A and B are shown apart, each in its own frame.
Chain A
Amino acid sequence: MGNYQNMQAVNHSENGVNLKLLHAAIRFNSMILGLTGGSLAAIIIYFATHASMARWGEDSGNYLGLLAVFFPGYSVSPTGAWLGALWAFVYVGTFSALSYRLYGRVLGTRISEILLSTTPTENPVLRPSIMRLHGMSLGLAIGAMAALGLFCSTAWLVIRGTAAESVHAALLANYIPGYSVSILGGLIGAIELFALVFLGCLLLAAVYNKVVARRHT
C-alpha cells in the first residue's frame, strides 16, 4: 500500500493520468457507496415495517404495503420486513453504485478537485484528506439515476397493467407538472425530476463544501 508510487509508470494516458488507477478508484468507491446506500436503505425499510406494525397492528401497511408493487413478496409483516430489507439493499445498492460510477466518470481527471488539499501527504491511505463534493458531477450522476428510476418505475406500472389504478403514483403530478402514469408522462417526469435533483445536488454540495472550508481551513 505504501509503495503506490510504483504504479506511476503504468497505464498513463497522453496527458499523464494513470487511467488504470483512476478507473480502479472509481470501481472501488462505487462498491463502497453501493454497500453504504444499500445497507442504510435495508435498515430503514426493516425498521419502518416494524414501526408500522407496532403503531397500527392489524391495520398496518396501507401506504408501506404499496412497496409490494416493486418488491415482490413484500408485506407489512415480520417476514416481509426481511424481504423488504433485501429488495431495498438490491435497489438502493445498485442505484448508489451506479450513481458513483457515473459521478466518477463525469468527474474523470478532475478528481483532484474533490480534495480539500492536493499537497502530497505522507500516506494518502492511512492519513486521508477531507473530501469535497463536485456539485455539477453529483447533480448529473444522481439526477440521471433518479430520472431513470422514475421512468422505469412508471413503465413498470404501465407494463403490469395497473397504470389506471396507480392513484398514489399519479399524485407526483402535484410536484412534477405534466407527470402521469404513462410512458409519455414518465418521460416528462424523468426530465423534470432530473432538473430538480440536479438543483438539490448543487445545494447539497455548496452547503457541504462551505462547512468543510469553514471547519478545515
Chain B
Amino acid sequence: MRRPVQDHEILSAVFAKMDAVALTIAAGTLGALLLFLATAILLLQSVPENYPVGPHLSALAEYLPGYAVSWPGSLVGAGYGFLLGGIAGFAAAVYWNLAHYVALGVMLISSAELAD
C-alpha cells in the first residue's frame, strides 16, 4: 500500500526546480527524432516517378540551410531538430524556474505587507 503524501512533499513538488540541462537534452532528443521520422516517413512512401517528395516539408530548407527531404537531409534535420528542441527545452526550463521565483517573490512581498 502506498504511504500518504506529506505536506512538505506537496510543497516541494510545487516549487521543485526543472533541470535545464536535462530538459535541453530530452527535448533535443525528441526534436531530433521528430524531424528525422517526419522526413523518413515521407521517403518511405511510394510516389510516382519525377514527382517531388515532400514539397511542403522541403520548405523548411528556407529556415534550415542544408535540410532536404532525402536520407542525408534527414540526418541534417535530426541535427536541427536537436538544436531547436534543445533551445525550446532550455527556454521552457529557465522560464518555468524564473516564473516560480517571481511568483514566490510576489507572495513574500504580499505576506510581508499583510504582516505590517
Contact = CB atoms under 8 A, between A and B. Distances in A.
Given A17-B5, A109-B2, A175 B18 contact: no
B8 A208 contact: no
A203 B38 contact: no
B105 to A, nearest CB: 11
A5 B107 CA distance: 17
Contacts of A114: 13, 16
Interface centre among A63, A118, A131, A175 (most CB of B within 10 A): A131
A168 B25 CA distance: 31
A8 B23 CA distance: 33
B99 A25 contact: no
B17 A130 contact: yes
Given A18-B10, A115-B13, 6 more contacts: A4-B11, A120-B6, A121-B12, A129-B16, A131-B19, A215-B19
Interface of B: 2, 4-19, 21-23, 25-27, 29-30, 33-34, 38, 41-42, 45, 56, 59, 62-63, 88, 91-92, 95-96, 99-100, 103-104, 107-108, 111
B22 A22 contact: no
Contact of B19 (A21, A111, A121, A208): A208
B45 A215 contact: no
A210 to B, nearest CB: 8
A125 B100 CA distance: 10
Contacts of A175: 38, 41
B95 A22 contact: no
A215 B41 CA distance: 35
Q: 4 smallest A-B Cβ distances: which pairs?
A: A131-B16, A211-B22, A16-B4, A208-B26
B33 A124 contact: no
Contacts of B10: 18, 21-22, 25, 111-112
Contacts of B18: 131
Given A7-B7, A111-B13, A130-B19, A1 B26 contact: no
Contacts of A215: 19, 21-22
Interface string A51-93: 1000100000001000000000000000000000000000000
12 contacts: A21-B7, A29-B14, A36-B95, A36-B96, A115-B16, A128-B16, A131-B16, A171-B56, A204-B26, A204-B29, A207-B25, A211-B19
